Amino acid sequence: MTPQAEKSGIFPSSAPTSTARARVIREALAAGEGVVRLAPCWVPRSFLMPGGRLKLDPRDLYILGGHRGGIDERWFSSTTKAANGPFTAPDEGLSYIEFHGKKVLFKEAIETAGELFLGKDVMAREGGWNLLCKFFDNLGPIPHHLHQTDEFAARVGQKGKPEAYYFPPQYNFKDNNFPYTFMGLEPGTTRDDLRRCLERWNEGDNGILYHTRAYKLKPGTGWQIDPGILHAPGSLVTYEPQVNSDVFAMYQSLVEGRTVPWDLLVKDVPPEHHHDLDYLLDMLDWEANLDYLLDMLDWEANTDPEFAKHRLFEPQPAAAAEDMREAGYIENWVVFSTPHYSAKELTVFPGRCVTIKDAGAYGTILVQGYGTLGKHQVETPTLIRYGQMTKDELFVSADAAANGVTITNNSDAENLVFLKHFGPGNPQAPAARAA
């Protein structure tokens, strides 16, 4: 296998047959008693600058080539291929199950044995693992952009994308250049205001940030951002559960002195509308759904005068805090309020062993400590080379979650901390934040 093939994860012609891969999937699931280990999945972005806090060795940040950009994202339990342009590898963004040195795409596992992983009811209702979760880590801010609603995404054969943010303290040991996020639009902003911004695209800064406000980002908190809402994520490491889609449209023409190509505004717009300003404004899904480029925005949500009150979330205990502490752990909901996904942060105290039950399958990433989860040893890596296997990412099947997973913290001094991401319809997730 060539070095480039190893980087991309492409199997050579001697790859295992589908029968052999199916056997690996079932053996991994059985050996782990419903829990499988996943390999790190790294994704570059050509228009951003990596923040260097994802524990990927600095020598490997540009291992895919300067033309691809630096690696600033790690995707978890992903069945979603990255939409990164013509140089995107066939398996870019896709997670692999690892078992005794053999790797099989998690996507293939869900497609061929989904009921064993997700349960019959979820497969019948959802048809798969309809979640994409990631860490993203940038030196500075991302351009002000939106993700299309289902209506606009369907016009290019994709799904709309709501998403949520949580800022894990363990990864945010420094803020980097801009720990603020512009979100939404100032109340009173008009369609003509944004039209003028789009008309100035090739004149440097198009001025769209004059029509919004920035919020200081706080580790240990999070936000919910629905489709059609403009946002420019700041420079904190962000844990981001979202619907499994990679659609977006950039509305800001200049970020930190770097130009944003018009192509990134119209990446997921039908070709006949690539220079149709009305279409681009309609993607914001204005209250009256007027034209197109402007109507992709959700105007009511973007101009909400109580934007933070409705979308900023503090962690919410998953059970009575006193009872959890007595049992040796604390578990908080850190993403909730939407039917599309949810997430928890689980902390097991030093030297304690707990059994946790959940109402659905979930992916999990360890962010602190070492110990065991079910049959698997887990440990937080300090430094990861590209292509190296780790012991910090797992997927827990629906049956294993329902029966309860036993987790042991083998340290007598440090907490063991996991983030757990659930797909659509977790009945235990709070429908709204606490008053």
Give the pLDDT mean for 76-88.
92
pLDDT tens digits, 121-179 = 999 999 999 999 999 999 999 999 999 999 999 999 999 999 999 999 999 999 999 99
Q: How many CB atoms lie within 10 A of CB 122?
A: 21
Give the pLDDT mean for 104-119.
97
> CA-CA distance, 209 to 99, in Å (whole number)?
48
Closest to 308 in 3D by CA, of 392, 150, 193, 182:
182
> CA-CA distance, 333 to 280, in Å (whole number)?
35
Q: Give Cα 180 to chain centroid, integer Å.
A: 19
Give the model's pLDDT for residue 13.
34
Strands across the sheet with 342-348, in order?
Answer: 102-105, 96-99, 35-38, 393-396, 362-368, 416-422, 342-348, 329-335, 316-317
Give the model's pLDDT for residue 292.
67
Q: What is the domain range of residue 240?
A: 3-16+42-102+122-311
Residue type, 114: G
> CA-CA distance, 232 to 219, in Å (whole number)?
17
Residue 229 located in a structural domain: yes
For the chain, what percent of residues have pLDDT higher than 70? 93
Residue 434 located in a structural domain: no
Two structure tokens written together for 147: 């993700």
Residue indicated by tokens 């979760």 = 133
Q: pTM for the complete prediction?
A: 0.92
Contact 414, 379 (CB under 8 A): no
Taking 70 as the threshold, does the pLDDT of residue 106 lie above it?
yes
Residue 117 located in a structural domain: no
pLDDT tens digits, 309-334 = 999 999 999 999 999 999 999 999 99
For the chain, what percent of residues have pLDDT higher than 90? 85
Average of per-residue pLDDT values in the chain = 92
Give the model's pLDDT for residue 363.
98
Name beta bridge partners: 384.
56
Band the pLDDT of 8: cuts 50, 70, 90: very low
Give the model's pLDDT for residue 47.
84
Band the pLDDT of 246: cuts 50, 70, 90: confident
> CA-CA distance, 197 to 89, in Å (whole number)?
34
Residue 374 located in a structural domain: no
Residue 75 located in a structural domain: yes
Give the pLDDT mean for 243-247.
90
Band the pLDDT of 435: cuts 50, 70, 90: very low
Residue 88 located in a structural domain: yes
State the SS3 of the chain. CCHHHHHHCCCCCCCCCHHHHHHHHHHHHHHCCCEEEECCEEEEECCCCECCCCCECHHHCCCCCHHHCEEEEEEECCCCCCCCCCCCCCCCCCCEEEECCEEEEHHHHHHHHHHHHHCHHHHHHHCCCCCEEEEECECCCCCCEECCCHHHHHCCCCCCCCEEEECCHHHCCCCCCCCEEEECCCCCCCHHHHHHHHHCCCCCCCCHHHHCEEEECCCCCEEEECCCCCEECCCCCEEEEECCCCCCEECCCEECCEECCHHHCCCCCCHHHCCCHHHHHECCCCCCCCCCEECCCCHHHHCCCCHHHHHEECCEECCCHHHHHHHCEEEEEEECCCCCCEEEEEEECCCCEEEECCCCCEEEEEEECEEEECCEEEECCCCECCCCCCCCEEEECHHHHHHCEEEEECCCCCCEEEEEEECCCCCCCCCCCCC
Residue 241 located in a structural domain: yes
CATH of the domain at 175: 2.60.120.10
Residue indicated by tokens 């140089």 = 87
How many separate domains does the chain show?
1
Residue indicated by tokens 């289902």 = 150
Give the pLDDT mean for 40-57.
95
Closest to 116 in 3D by CA, of 31, 30, 39:
30
Taking 60 as the threshold, does the pLDDT of residue 434 lie above it?
no
In terms of Cβ atoms closer than 10 Å to its own Cβ (0-12, 13-18, 19+), residue 379 is middle
Q: How many CB atoms lie within 10 A of CB 282?
A: 25
Residue 246 located in a structural domain: yes
Give the model's pLDDT for residue 183.
97
Give the model's pLDDT for residue 15.
52
pLDDT tens digits, 372-399 = 999 999 999 999 999 999 999 999 999 9
> CA-CA distance, 269 to 283, in Å (whole number)?
9
